[in-house]
Amino acid sequence: MYEGAVQDLIDELGRLPGIGPKSAQRIAFHLLQADEVDVKRLVDSLLEVKAKVRFCQTCGNIAQGEQCRICVDPRRDATVICVVEEPKDVVAIERTREFRGRYHVLGGAISPMEGVGPDDLSIAALFARLSDRSVTEVIIATDPNLEGEATATYLVRAMGDIDVRITRLASGLPVGGDLEYADEITLGRAFEGRRLLNA
């Protein structure tokens, strides 16, 4: 419907996740009317990311170079590995400033529905990191949903004969939330994981 170049751009934008045809059209018109330099900056940052950004050869996190910032940082405790699904989970955990160990990014979670099995995840690389026995604790921080739980269960079973402490992040009521708005599964977990206050 549009002049060729505009329709091509709308089509390309529409391939991005979460961008429907209406948003693609809106963004295309915005870019059409935007300053040349602004579009140039977007283009440059796209090319820059593809040219420079790789995945860390050790942990699978995003990296500018062979290893990510965390794996090359000698101050990070190499005896504790926190296993997450995606690089964005690393960012979320880093934001808490609670964790000073290293990470391992699986690249997803086990999901029979979406055809993702253990072999599709970076699990062999995780086991390779555990083989020299310097790691004392593996914290499984996959998402608290069906796929994340299945992945956690799989990992615990697969690590059965490795001498390492395996832990899982606590489930429970979100801090600052209202108890009455918690779904029953979360509330159930909160009961299960209740802690003694007067020990």
The count of residues interacting with a copy of itself (CB under 8 A) is 50
Interface residue with a copy of itself, options 47, 128, 146, 164 (CB under 8 A): 47
> Of 15 and 195, which CB lies nearer to a copy of itself in the complex structure?
15
Residues 66-105 that bind a copy of itself (CB under 8 A): 68-69, 86-88, 91, 94-95
CB of 128 to a copy of itself, least distance (A): 22
CB of 31 to a copy of itself, least distance (A): 7
Question: Which of these ranges, 16-24, 98-106, 139-147, 163-171, lies near a copy of itself under the rule CB under 8 A?
Answer: 16-24
* Dihedral angle sign, alpha carbons of residues 106, 112, 118, 119: negative
> Of 49 and 185, which CB lies nearer to a copy of itself in the complex structure?
49
Interface residue with a copy of itself, options 64, 111, 153, 186 (CB under 8 A): 64
Binding site for a copy of itself (CB under 8 A): 1-6, 8-9, 11-13, 15-19, 23, 25-32, 36, 38-39, 41-43, 45-50, 52-53, 62-64, 68-69, 86-88, 91, 94-95
